[in-house]
């Protein structure tokens, strides 16, 4: 685990390169991904087979990736999260994945893969999942203060809190805080209440963090002591000796998310090579690596089960007794409103 933050920081640096920049030239396959996922531990079988990693280009968030692909950027594979897949599909950016070419297809989490079966075709291979919860410096924050999501509106921590610069994670917080635990049935009124709550919380924010490396730095220094964060942060930072804890049992609950790989339409390179990459990502060795080194869950459910409950609980992936808002596909018109409103909230309007 001690190397995870270094890997994420490296990914952050690499993401500053131009979109088409490559970090390897051992194969023609082009992966359009979040920074950090070029970690070879995720696809070691591919590296063994081809002598090195594929070529990577990076995006900072999914709307940016969507716009670049629509503008003509070409890649073979990309890595959106669940709520973006329908939008990408409707825009004509995707081709179905052939289950017959995925060696461990039967082991892939059934609910996740079936969520993206459209007109008989599968449009996402679930790869990573995790949780988002109140995360705090246990040596600097009273545990009683983080029993509720209302901590984000607590003026005692004004200027020492941070939210993710991610519309879905932010609105998961806003909906939970205002009593919505299933955003697939959220109404315009629910959206307005969540937006108002986030606008109030914004007054207490020091910053909006972009990735795990940035948040780790902020919390290590004590500049931020409370955040809405992925389970990666306490998992990796505890290994660094920093007393960062997460509370998934606030009375309002926490959130869960999952992402995966998609087959981009008219990818410029070898389809066989693409499936070799997807199979490497679904290998049990990848599941073991992502849980133990990154603290995330994996789409290979059989491999996850084999790791045992202790490993999952230790990574913040176990069951909880409080509500969990799953970041499943939602009404796209409502999500477009969320995207626009979140930009206003961050700007102070």
129, 304 contact by CB (below 8 A): no
Q: What is the pLDDT of residue 27?
A: 52
258, 81 contact by CB (below 8 A): yes
Query: Rounded to whole angstroms, how far apart are CA atoms 20 and 269?
Result: 15
Low-confidence ranges of the chain (pLDDT < 50): 1-26
Q: Which two tokens stand for residue 152?
A: 């984000």
Q: What is the pLDDT of residue 9?
A: 31
Query: Rounded to whole angstroms, how far apart are CA atoms 215 and 200?
Result: 21
Q: What is the pLDDT of residue 6?
A: 31
231, 1 contact by CB (below 8 A): no
pTM: 0.80
Short-list 194, 219, 220, 197, CA closest to 206: 219
Q: What is the pLDDT of residue 331?
A: 87
Please report the domains of the chain, with CATH numbers, ordered by start residue: 4-129+257-314 (3.40.190.10), 130-256+320-346 (3.40.190.10)
Q: Phi/psi zone of residue 255: left (φ > 0), alpha (ψ -120 to 50 degrees), beta?
A: beta
Query: Rounded to whole angstroms, how far apart are CA atoms 214 and 9?
Result: 8
């Amino acid at each position: 685990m001690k190397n995870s933050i270094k890997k994420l920081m490296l990914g952050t640096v690499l993401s500053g390169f131009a979109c088409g920049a490559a970090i390897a030239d051992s194969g023609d396959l082009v992966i359009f991904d979040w920074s950090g996922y070029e970690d070879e531990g995720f696809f070691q079988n591919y590296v063994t087979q081809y002598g090195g990693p594929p070529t990577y280009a990076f995006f900072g968030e999914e709307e940016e990736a969507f716009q670049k692909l629509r503008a003509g950027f070409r890649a073979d594979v990309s890595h959106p999260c669940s709520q973006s897949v329908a939008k990408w599909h409707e825009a004509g950016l995707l081709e179905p994945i052939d289950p017959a070419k995925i060696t461990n297809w039967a082991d892939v989490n059934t609910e996740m893969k079936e969520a993206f079966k459209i007109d008989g075709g599968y449009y996402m291979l679930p790869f990573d999942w995790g949780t988002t919860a109140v995360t705090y410096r246990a040596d600097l924050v009273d545990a009683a203060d983080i029993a509720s999501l209302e901590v984000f509106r607590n003026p005692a921590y004004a200027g020492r809190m941070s939210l993710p610069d991610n519309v879905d994670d932010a609105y998961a917080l806003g909906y939970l805080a205002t009593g919505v635990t299933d955003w697939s049935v959220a109404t315009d009124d629910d959206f307005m209440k969540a937006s108002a709550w986030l606008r109030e919380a914004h007054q207490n924010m020091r910053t909006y963090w972009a990735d795990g490396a940035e948040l780790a730095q902020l919390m290590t220094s004590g500049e931020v002591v409370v955040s809405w964060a992925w389970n990666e942060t306490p998992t990796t930072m505890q290994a660094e000796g920093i007393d960062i804890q997460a509370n998934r049992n606030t009375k309002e609950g926490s959130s869960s998310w999952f992402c995966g790989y998609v087959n981009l339409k008219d990818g410029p390179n070898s389809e066989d090579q693409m499936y070799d990459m997807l199979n490497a990502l679904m290998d049990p060795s990848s599941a073991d690596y992502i849980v133990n080194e990154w603290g995330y869950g994996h789409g290979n459910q059989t491999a996850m089960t084999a790791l045992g409950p202790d490993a999952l609980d230790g990574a913040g992936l176990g069951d909880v007794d409080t509500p969990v808002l799953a970041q499943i596909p939602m009404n796209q018109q409502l999500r477009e409103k969320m995207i626009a409103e979140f930009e206003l909230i961050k700007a102070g309007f």
